[in-house]
Copies of this chain bind each other. A is one copy, B any other.
Amino acid sequence: MNLSFTEENYLKNIFHLNFNVDENVSTNALAEVLNTKAASVTDMLKKLSEKELVNYEKYQGVTLTKIGEEQAITVIRKHRLWEVFLVEKLNFKWDEVHDIAEELEHINSEKLINRLDEFLNFPKTDPHGDPIPDKNGVLKSQELIPVSKLKVGDKGLISGVREHSAEFLKYLDKTGLILGESLNIIEIINFDGSVMLLIKGKQQMISREVANNLLIAT
């Protein structure tokens, strides 16, 4: 299977969109995340369908075939392992690695990626808490829930983010909301959904927006 850079990006994004909302992925949704136009997406879906990488019926959206999904997961594995490398070995911050990993994820060598995995000690998650598929394409995701779903008195460990923008990640860094910290819910303000946390022995307020995008393992 020799896929182009572009084809790999289509498969990866179909996977992510389907993962988030479990239904056929729409042409427009893909055009949006791929920064392209719906007409271009239609063209590419026909081509991917021809190659049996996606199930596509006109006007019905698209899903990945078994093979398409395997390819998508391989790309995601590469993306996340490179992110770990950049953070752990090259001292990048978690908000700096995504764009570089977008390029590195297309490097084509199974041996390379498996050696990298080994070099990094077979990490289970990437710097954003996202699970890393193993070499057989098995992706086991721990069930994480947003802080906004917790009740007063609940506690948990910061374990992931829903939103991956550098903006948001830098905000979390600055306010000490980093992966691995444990927190308690002190109070939930009805008025605007903001939440008072106890973290590192100090009280700290976060907005509903932030509470929605910060993921906890309980």
Contact = CB atoms under 8 A, between A and B. Distances in A.
B107 A92 contact: no
A3 interface: no
Contacts of A122: none
A119 B107 contact: no
A115 B100 contact: no
A108 B119 CA distance: 23
A90 interface: yes
B90 A119 contact: yes
A209 to B, nearest CB: 30
Interface residues of A, number: 18
B103 A108 contact: yes
Copies of this chain per assembly: 2
A22 B91 CA distance: 41
Secondary structure of the A contact surface, majority rule: helix
A63 B181 CA distance: 57
Nearest to A103: B107
Interface string A95-125: 0100110011001110110011001000000
A86 interface: yes
Interface of A: 86, 89-92, 96, 99-100, 103-104, 107-109, 111-112, 115-116, 119
A89 B116 CA distance: 9
B90 A100 contact: no
Contacts of A96: 111
A100 B109 contact: yes
A110 to B, nearest CB: 11
Contacts of A112: 86, 90, 100
Given A90-B119, A91-B115, A92-B111, 9 more contacts: A89-B119, A96-B111, A99-B109, A100-B107, A100-B109, A103-B107, A103-B108, A103-B109, A104-B107
